[in-house]
């Protein structure tokens, strides 16, 4: 019976491990399956979205080109939900580059990577060498990547009209990225920061006020933790215990004596030092945690009529995204992606409400066959052929002369 039970358990374990060998697939971004009811795709609703002007500062988790791709991709995806058609972004960039509005700068090899590559042979450990190789590869990938530089800030009216005719679009969308950075959210919710960071930060701020820097804030927290630990530790009996009092009896009660055995006479001071150190260490560890990352994205968007250049709609949105609790996902890239998506949805929803007032006339067919990088030759009228003038008539040969 025992052998049968052991065999059954073995078979179940084998089935469990075989099932655990498969992969888990999670679709984080779903393609547009169908538009919202009443917003079917209409070939007349064509929009051209230009690359955004970037005015961001601060701690940014993405570089310039990646910020452009994320923001423009989110807006294109949201517009597709409502049936708007937009050209491929690379075609728009090529059009602007051909007209000298932007310049594509080719990446160059980074000399810093060469120096790090030489340093790899100077006795580093295998683990350190692998880490250096990874950093050098990432640095070279960034340095060799093409970059985009804006040559002109504004657009001329004729350029906008030509852009609309080239892509067959009624309206052109332009915008700017104002904020795209990671911050630290100030909150007093202990479930979002943690119990110890909440306790030490609130106590330190109440006693000392706002510190000048992070270092002073750490000293204040450690001072609070050390003082509270020493205060309560002076009354503790662990790890140093007081001596035991032993009463010896004599012939008469007046001759009874009290003798202290074991323990330590200075246990209060020792315990205060131990628990004060523990409190300061707890404050130090609490200061290392409790940070609540906050992703902030602010985007301005405007729509212009391609034929006249008149701004028909404009708005902006700022979105701040943070984890819901201390156990939530606090990765900077995930928070930033969510902030970009929410900002794009907010702006596009407002534009869709206003788009019913716009004049969506049948747009011209996109003229992709024209190559604007090479100017077309000017057609000129053909020159008239000049007949040579003869001084005297040519004489016919004798055989052809008449008699």
223: pLDDT strictly greater than 50: yes
Say if residue 146's pLDDT is above 50.
yes
For the chain, the domains span: 42-97+153-181+296-367, 107-145, 190-288
Q: What local confidence, expressed as pLDDT, does residue 202 receive?
A: 80
Tokens of 326: 């201390």
pLDDT interval class at 338 (50, 70, 90): very high
Averaged pLDDT, 277-303: 87
119 touches 132 (CB < 8 A): yes
Average pLDDT over the chain reads 75
The whole-number pLDDT of residue 190 equals 78
Is residue 403 scored above 60 in pLDDT? no
Model pLDDT for residues 225-248, shown as the tens digit of each residue: 888 888 888 888 888 888 877 766
374 has a pLDDT exceeding 50: no
Q: 11 or 160: whose pLDDT is higher? A: 160
Compute CA 19 distance to the chain's CA centroid, rounded to the nearest angstrom: 36
* CATH 3.40.718.10 at 42-97+153-181+296-367, yes or no: no
């Amino acid at each position: 019976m025992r052998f049968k039970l052991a065999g059954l358990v073995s078979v179940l374990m084998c089935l469990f491990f075989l099932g655990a060998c498969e992969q888990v697939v999670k679709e984080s971004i779903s393609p547009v399956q169908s538009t919202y009811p009443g917003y079917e795709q209409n070939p007349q609703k064509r929009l051209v979205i230009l690359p955004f002007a970037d005015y961001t500062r601060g701690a940014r988790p993405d570089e310039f080109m990646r910020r452009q791709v994320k923001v423009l991709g989110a807006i294109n995806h949201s517009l597709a939900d409502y049936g708007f058609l937009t050209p491929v972004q690379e075609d728009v960039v090529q059009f602007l580059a051909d007209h000298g509005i932007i310049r594509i700068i080719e990446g160059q090899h980074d000399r810093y990577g060469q120096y790090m590559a030489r340093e790899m042979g100077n006795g580093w450990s295998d683990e350190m060498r692998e880490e250096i190789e990874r950093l050098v590869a990432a640095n070279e990938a960034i340095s060799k990547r093409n970059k985009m530089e804006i040559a002109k800030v504004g657009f001329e009216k004729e350029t906008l009209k030509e852009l609309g005719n080239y892509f067959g679009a009624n309206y052109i969308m332009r915008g700017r990225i104002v904020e795209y950075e990671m911050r630290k959210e100030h909150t007093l919710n202990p479930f979002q920061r943690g119990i110890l960071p909440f306790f030490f930060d609130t106590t330190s701020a109440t006693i000392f006020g706002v510190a000048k820097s992070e270092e002073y804030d750490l000293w204040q927290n450690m001072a609070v933790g050390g003082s509270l630990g020493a205060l309560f530790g002076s009354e503790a009996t662990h790890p140093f215990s007081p001596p035991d009092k032993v009463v010896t009896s004599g012939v008469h009660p007046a001759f009874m004596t009290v003798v202290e055995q074991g323990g330590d006479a200075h246990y209060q001071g020792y315990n205060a030092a131990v628990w004060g150190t523990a409190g300061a260490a707890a404050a130090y560890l609490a200061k290392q945690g409790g940070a609540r990352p906050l992703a902030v994205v602010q985007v301005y968007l405007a729509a212009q009529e391609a034929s006249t250049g008149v701004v028909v709609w404009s708005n902006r949105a700022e979105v701040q995204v943070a984890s819901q609790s201390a156990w939530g996902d606090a990765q900077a890239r995930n928070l930033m992606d969510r902030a970009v998506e929410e900002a794009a949805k907010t702006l596009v929803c407002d534009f869709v409400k206003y788009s019913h007032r716009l004049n969506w006339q049948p747009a011209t067919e996109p003229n992709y066959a024209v190559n604007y990088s090479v100017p077309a030759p000017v057609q000129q009228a053909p020159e008239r052929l000049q007949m040579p003038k003869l001084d005297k008539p040519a004489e016919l040969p004798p055989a052809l002369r008449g008699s």
